[in-house]
Amino acid sequence: MNKRVQLQDLGLKDYKETWDFQEKLFKEIIDLKIKNRREEESIDTPNYFIFVEHPHVYTLGKSGDISNLLVDEKVLEEKGASFYKINRGGDITYHGPGQIVGYPILDLDNFFTDIHKYLRFLEEMVILTLADYGLNAERSKGETGVWLDVGTPFARKICAMGVRASRWVTMHGFALNVNADLGYFDMMIPCGIKGKAVTSLNVELGKKEIDINEVKERLLSHFLSFFEAELIE
């Protein structure tokens, strides 16, 4: 089993370009797994962890409801935002500058073959990262992602999640609001969940801006710990 993970920080990159890049890596891993099985070989499959920020974009998962996007194409254009339907789970999600998006592209055969455990590990990685900043984040039963003040009228989401897996290879991932412009969330019903607010780390800490690279380092550290993985840069 190969527990080495290659880090790729793409900086600010178009959503569709990043999606195509993910698909390329995803397909390469699956093709190698098929080849190994067919030819009875044992070539190690690679693992990747992608960090990226996207220009303003709304994405709708395969089970999502388009009515959860509350504006039309003209408003999106005025706001400099794009829209894509994609093949992950979940409903509608916003990505934009000031938000850390993480796409782990892992062969879970290298770690453990349990998609629920995988999701719990991603959630816990974010929860522990937020704890590093003094925030008590947690899961919300029946709702994806990571939340603050769960079970109160002040419940608010700080991290969205949506993944896809095939032959135990993962793609898509999480989006953690660090210095996000929360006004863009008003143009949709986040993840299709009505009446729940969205927040960002800088807002919760009462700061204009948080060092986004420091947050990435903390996320990565917790990720490597949970998956008992070794980083390759």
CB 155 within 8 A of CB 90: no
| pLDDT tens per residue across all 233 residues of the chain | 899 999 999 999 999 999 999 999 999 999 999 999 998 888 999 999 999 999 999 888 777 777 888 887 788 888 889 888 877 666 788 899 999 999 999 999 999 999 999 999 999 999 999 999 999 999 988 888 899 999 999 999 999 888 889 999 999 999 999 999 998 888 887 655 566 789 999 999 999 999 999 999 999 999 999 999 999 87
Considering 125, 146, 163, 191, which one is annotated as catalytic? 191
CATH number belonging to the domain at 4-232, selected among 3.90.740.10, 3.40.50.2020, 3.55.40.20, 3.30.930.10 = 3.30.930.10
Res 60: pLDDT: 82
CB 139 within 8 A of CB 150: yes
Q: Per-domain residue ranges for the chain?
A: 4-232
The SS3 assignment for 215 reads: helix
165 assigned ligand-binding residue: no
162 assigned ligand-binding residue: yes
Instruction: Please tell me the chain's helix, strand, coil percentages from 3-state DSSP, rounded to the nearest 5.
Output: 35, 30, 35
C-alpha closest to that of 90 among 141, 163, 12, 30 = 163
11 assigned ligand-binding residue: no
**Model confidence, pTM:** 0.92
Q: Give the integer Cα–Cα distance in Å for 150 and 141.
A: 9
Q: Where are the extended beta strands (E) located within the chain?
A: 4-12, 48-53, 57-60, 82-85, 92-95, 99-105, 137-140, 143-148, 156-166, 169-177, 197-198, 230-232
Q: Give the integer Cα–Cα distance in Å for 198 and 183.
A: 10
50 assigned ligand-binding residue: no
175 assigned ligand-binding residue: yes
- pLDDT tens digits, residue range 92-124? 888 999 999 999 999 999 999 999 999 999 999
Known catalytic membership, residue 159: no
